[in-house]
Structures are given as structure tokens and as C-alpha cells.
Amino acid sequence: MKRLIYKSLLFVLLSGLFVSGCKKKKNATDEFADVKGNYFSINQFIVDQWNNFPGPTCVLYKNVRVNGKTTDSSYTNTDKLDWTPIFQTFAATDISDRKFLGKYKFNQFDDPQDQTHNFFYQADDDDLFTQKLLITLDMYNMKVRGIYIEAFKKTATKETTEKLYYAPLKTLQIQTDEKPVFGSRKHTVENYDFMR
């Protein structure tokens, strides 16, 4: 029941960005093709991950460090974890809206040693929130091995840098570095390891 509530919440949060109902299963290469004239969608990836891995409850090891000191170290599971702030953090970096077209440099490269295809987006403008997006695919089955994102926001009171990483069903990490105009810098690392 709780999983259903989280799914509903996710769809409400991302309404207008997704089409509900039946969908044709995409093949990985179609996901990255510029058929509709937009960039890779983190929001669609979140929904796909949620739908493709609905299996049994998975144990997670959660570790939160603030300025190098552990503030939370505990075991939880995928049913008990509050996914909303995590989804919101990743969803905020989505660059699939057509307004972002032409604002990112795109590069594609292979890493034979890692046996991966890599898709890299880098912002042309320092004012864009999402500065870097790297998608790493397995060279043989074209499944996403990892997503790395860097985001930056500057306001009158502080500068915030986020580094996000997700390796499907392995690791999820959110690093936040806050530099206020007045006061101390705060560096937070929130890490979740999937215990499979």
C-alpha cells in the first residue's frame, strides 16, 4: 500500500511531464535518440526505474555525513524510505524540456576498458542549474550502468553545488555543498547502498 502511495505521489509531482496509461516498451537506443527533439529525460528515467524494479523489498544501508562527520548510519528498506525528497532532487536536474535545446554541448564516447558507451551533456551557460549530465551504458546490453549529474545554483545569500550519482540497484548518492555569504560552509553526503 505504501509503495502505491509513493507511486501516486511521484506521478503527481511529475505531472505534465509524463503520459500515463499503457506505453510501448522502449529499447535503450531509442531512449537516447533525439527523435522528439529533446535531451535525455531524468524524469522519465525515474519512472522507468520505478516501474522496472517493483520486485521484493530491498534493504538499503543509509549513511549521511555532514562536514565529514556521520550524522545518520542505519539500515532501512525500499518500502520505508521517503523517496519524495530524493525524486525531487533528481527531477530538478531534468533537461528534457525543449527550452533547453541548444544550451548543452553533447559528446558521445566509448570506454573499451570499462566496456561502456557514454553520453555527456555540458551546459553552455553558467546560469543553467544542471551543468553536467553523464549517462553510462553497458556496451553489450545497452542498460544504464550509472548516471552522474552536477548542478549549481547561486543566489544572493549562497552558492549550492549538487553532485548526484545513481547506479541502478547498487548505489544512490547525493552530495550537496553550500557556501553561504555569511556563516560556515556545509558539505553533506547522503549515500544509499542497495544490499542485494
**Cα–Cα distance for residue pair 93/121, rounded to 1 Å:** 12
pLDDT, position 51: 86
Task: For the chain, list residues with pLDDT below 50.
Answer: 1-35
pLDDT, position 13: 37
| 38 exposure class (CB count in 10 Å sphere: 0-12, 13-18, 19+) | middle
Supply the pTM of this predicted model: 0.79
Average pLDDT over all residues of the chain: 83
Nine-digit cell string for 140: 553489450
